[in-house]
Structure 1
Amino acid sequence: MADLDEDEALLAELGLELTPIKAAARTAQEERLIAGFEEILRFVEEHGRTPQHGEERDIFERLFAVRLDRLRALSDTHPLLMPLDTRGLLQEAPSLVTTQQGEALDDDALLAELGVVEGASEDDITQLRHVRSFEERKALEDIASRTPCPDFERFAPLFERVEGDLKSGLRKTLRFGRDASVEKGNFFILGGQMAYVAEVGEPVRTPNGESNARLRVIYSNGTESDLLERSLQRALYKDETGRRITDDDHGPLFGGTLEPDDIVNGTIYVLRSLSNNSYVVEHRELIHKIGITGGKVETRIANAEKDPTYMLAKVEVVATYKLSNLNRMRLENLFHRIFQGARLELTIEDRFGNPVKPREWFLVPLHVIDEAVRRIQDGSITDYVYDPTQAMLVRQG
């Protein structure tokens, strides 16, 4: 203590005052920049890589990738963020090449895919309006630690199906809150991941008299968590991008009243490929494409040899079924769901040597498709699933 007093006395003789240095207060804008960069750092720590662009990526990974590109491009932010950059993320060049690409992948465009609609945005990187606050991040962390899901192969097809339903419009996302219920089989979007409620335990009473239950929640990234119903609800409430994914039961396939996506007279058509691909040649009698059109089938397949959807080859129509007042979207999704386990996984090359993967082709005998159509018409299809091992429709349960 004596040494300290002597130092202070010496400084006083030199006319210097020993006053503590106050840390400069950060602006709200700087705080948001830091919070946004910290989210990117957490992503890198969790995944061992930087966030990447691409439609196959998780929506928040794509958002982080855009944000990182913007931070890299704006050198004025580097003095603020460099002390946090333990991984040297800001030293690399932005991965986006053109301005058009950057605009196509801005925060609003990406979040719109989750059903988030915001007001007009500015191009300035400092407008990181979608960065979650500490309280919001803490709420998400509180829901429970996620662990690898040991039987994820059981649930992966469910996530693929729901993702397809969202793209086709069969399902949609709603802001969580209007309906706060949580039941087995429900799907949500939480923290940028799709979440599926696989199990609901016995309800228990909390001290304030409310009902609560232990849940098993599976996430689309292959993890799961064991958490309470109230914790999930609280996290969904506080997550600005938290969403409920609606069920796919939006009414009958056929009815007396036309809806916007209904067609008065439609045709279900079944095609067989005339491709000379060796695998297709070997299994030609089993490989079929099922489609629906409100026009002429011949017009639909006129340029099949130029369309990857038709394996870049001519096709022949092997069956057609005329139907009235049908909901095209629901019917197509129903067919794809029934025969999901028999979907053809085949990659072919186009004339430039680029790999393409035809969709909506199935390894299903024609007589089974015919039976499925009849069961759709009489309403009994809901009791059946397709068993690829037996090559037949079998009653569920």
Structure 2
Amino acid sequence: MARPSLDDIYSEHDEFGLLDLKQRGTRSGSATDRGVAVLLDVTCFVEQNGRLPDPEALSHDEMKLAMTWGAVKTSPTEKMIAADRLGLLDEKSIAPPRSWKDEVPEEAIPESLDDIFDDDELEVDPSLVTFQHTTPSSERVTPDHRAEFVPCRDFEKFRERFEIVQRALETGERKARAVKKWAIIEPIEGDFFIRNGLLAMIAEKSEMTSRGGSRDHRLRIIFSNGTESDPLMSSFRKSLSEDKTARTVQKVGLGPVDPEWESDQLELSGTIYVARSRSEDPAIREQRMILHKIGVTSQDVARRVADARNDPTFLLAPVDIVATYSLKNLSRHKVEDLLHRFFVSARPAELFVVDRLGKKISPKEWFYVLPEHVGQAVKLIEDGQLHLFHYDVATQKIVPN
């Protein structure tokens, strides 16, 4: 059977209309319709934004519209001219879009953040400009006392120690080692450092306190130029790490088991103080006259309690010093430990404060005792007879064993 020719195929009935082709419009007519459509899109854009579309816009749709407009406006048709009610085909009738490369008018530059946020066109989610995890300034800890440098009134007690350490450094008996950055330094009383070119001695390391949720000590540091300061231990560490000339001074001896290793430890006399809280907490205020803190310090007592309202050790409130007793030739730490153990039965088990982070802290230096009881105990320590007596909570008296 012979294969059908093309004529045979085209002469057959077109059942599915495959050969029924629609005549496309003329090229000029298509261009006219396209130009008018683009003009109408650009007109709508200008009415909404007050400017022509930017060919460098970040928006793909705007960039595409600008590029298309740039191509069709060069040869406008009569229909486009008739449909141009905003005069967009006249380039001088409307300002071109402003580029990021253009100079910004001086009046358009905001003077403050308030000017930016007050812009009606700026839509900012309130959650982006509302601090949720930052302590308000009204609730932040503002210290009443800063660790400034002041003259050391009892510097003569320390002068000889500084001279001995200085000679040892000059002869090589002691070495000064550089403080490594981010090194964890745990200074103890009697340790020597070099800070800002001065020898610095840790004269006192007071009872543990709590700041910002972390435990810390208050230090008393004596400097070789006759001044002193009392920073927190964490602040002193930071100052050493930031000082490129900072050094730690080697101790005497071969290690902790060597008797000479602790030869720099200080056994300074000091002051026993009895403090009364001025807290407005009802649980503390009701017992104010019988609840007292017993502490021992080598520095000025007023300076020691200056920042009491920010210190959990002092129940986060100012205190009044109601009694002081001088120590002579007695170890501060031993005396403080003796007094705390002697009055341990009068320590309130339920006493606590809540710091600004919501952490419950129970200070151990407060007792239900009167100042005169502390005075009697101090006298017994001086006479070496404290072990022969005890404090009777029931009678609130110091009685013989």
TM-score, normalised by the number of residues in structure 1? 0.34
TM-score, normalised by the number of residues in structure 2? 0.33
- Looking at CA atoms only, which structure, 1 or 2, has the larger radius of gyration? 2
